Each structure stands twice: as structure tokens, then as C-alpha cells.
Amino acid sequence: MADCVAKGLVGGAGHEKALRDRLFNYAVNLLARAARTERELRRRLMRPVWSTPALVDDVVAALKRYGYVDDEDFARRYAERRAASGKSGARRLRLELRAKGVEDRDAIEEAVREAFERAPEADAVDALIARRTRGRPVTDPDEMRRLRDFLLRRGFDPDTVYERLRAIGKDIDDE
């Protein structure tokens, strides 16, 4: 440490540059493992004890310039992946994107709309119904309610859920 002080590295411009480089490398490693929103990345970059808000701002600005951090692109790719999996609906996907840190509501709406144009919600609902019922007809009203509630919890549009359940030939007993 005394050698670093003598060379002017601690507390000087060299020390700050070394910390910035170290934080930048840490950020790149985080992004290499998984895509992250700006808010997620900022939160993670503040964890090291030597990190400061000014360093985080510098690193995030550099990452944005290089195109490594882009919330709109993150929202688009995340929405496509989740919609293609068919396990959740548009409502739930919007909530997940907000929880991940995407703050631009227009970007969220656009990403979700594009994702479900490629993989319609009705198809996902049909697939989940088929998987859940294993192809057997649903005749019990309690089972129909459980199926309806399962699909609604997954964030699918209520109109789509009711329409698809009616399509399998059963009326839903609304409570």
C-alpha cells in the first residue's frame, strides 16, 4: 500500500481509473452470464465495498455507449422468450418486465405486443389446457374452475381464457 501511495495511485487519478476498470470488468462479466436491465446492473455494481455512485454512473454510461445495456432490447428479447415458452400471458409478462427494471411503459407494451403476435396467447392457453387435462374431457365444474384459475394466475387475458374454455365445450360457472 505504501508503494501505491508513493506512486500516487491511491487517491489519485490512477487509482480511480483502476477502480473504474475493475468495475467495468465486473459489469462485463455479469452481462456475459445474463442480460440485465440498467436498474439490475446498477444494483449489482453497488455491491462491492469499493464501488461509488460516480463510478457506477461512469461504467453504466460506457456500457450504454457500447450497446451492452439497452432496456428496450432486453424487454423485447425477454418477452419473446417468455411468450415462446407459452407458460405465461401478457399481463404477467408486463409485471415481470417492470419487476426486472424496465421502466418505459411504451417499450414494455411494444415488446409484449410483438412477442404475442409471433406466439398468440390463445395457442399457449390451448397448449396448457391440453397438457393440464391430458386430452381428457373436463366435466367437473370444480375442475373447470381450477383450470380457469390456473390460467388466470399465469397472466393470460380473461377473455381469451373464457373463450378457450368454452371452445372445449364447457360452460364456466362464474362465481
Structure confidence by residue, pLDDT tens digits, 106-162 = 999 999 999 998 888 888 888 888 888 887 777 778 888 888 999 999 999 999 888
Calculate the dihedral angle through the C-alpha atoms of 44, 48, 51, 55, rounding to the nearest 10 degrees: -40
Max intra-chain CA distance, the chain = 82
pTM: 0.75
C-alpha cell of 23?
Answer: 468495475
Indicate the length of the chain as a whole number. Answer: 175
Q: Among 106, 109, 114, which residue's Cα sits nearest to residue 80?
A: 114
C-alpha cell of 87?
Answer: 407458460
Residue carrying C-alpha cell 375442475:
143
pLDDT value, residue 58? 95
